[in-house]
Amino acid sequence: MQTAISEHPYNFTYAPLLIVISGASGSGKDSVVKELIRQLDARGAHPHFVVTTTTRPRRDTEVEGVDYYFVSRVEFERMIAEGELVEHALVYGQYKGVTRSELRRAMASGQDVVMRLDVQGAATIRQMAPEAILIFIATLSERELTERLKRRRTEREDQLAIRLETARQEMQRIPEFDYVIPNPDQKLHETVETVLAIITAEKHRTHPRRARI
């Protein structure tokens, strides 16, 4: 069977990519996504970022509708009951999920789509869209992860222990991803450059990914 590239060898247009950024809590995936979007925008790429809905309390540095949609637990459970979510999970006692309307809007944009999801959410998207690109962001060591979580000062000791145990389990699922990128302290720029390199390489595949949901 002929591929699109053999039928039209000088047609160097690229299908939009569905890029899923995941990783353990404390790995820095939020910072990676923010800097990735900033750099792509600066290059004129203007990807569509899928904003996750959560029941987690908003942090001082977060903006409603930009970082997350923040809703009550009652509202989130209503959304579950009425089938408004493509995927959702209960993570550390708080709900996170992506609405169908948000994902449809992103996929219809004609731009690359970037999603920031926990490991469970990434697995759900892989089932729905096998052609999605799954990238796992990791710390260099468990010690570094522990230090980051302590610096955030958002968890009690018992909550910290739960996050660390969950992180150990999530690290075991790295083989489910296409790429794994270490994100050392003070090296955010290098981490994002690696993500950008992956995106560039994926754009130049002779058999391009075509994610559909």
Residues classed as catalytic: 59, 152, 163
29-51 per-residue burial string, b: 16 or more CB within 10 A, e: under 16: bbebbbbbbeebeeeeeebbbbb
Residue 76 structure tokens: 């989130």
Question: For residue 77, with 0-12 CB atoms within 10 Å meaning exposed, 13-18 middle and 19 or more buried, which class applies?
Answer: middle
Residue 96 structure tokens: 């996170």
Q: Contact at 8 Å (CB) between 96 and 118? A: yes
d(CA 145, CA 151): 10
For residue 173, give the nearest of 22, 50, 17, 32 by alpha carbon. Answer: 22
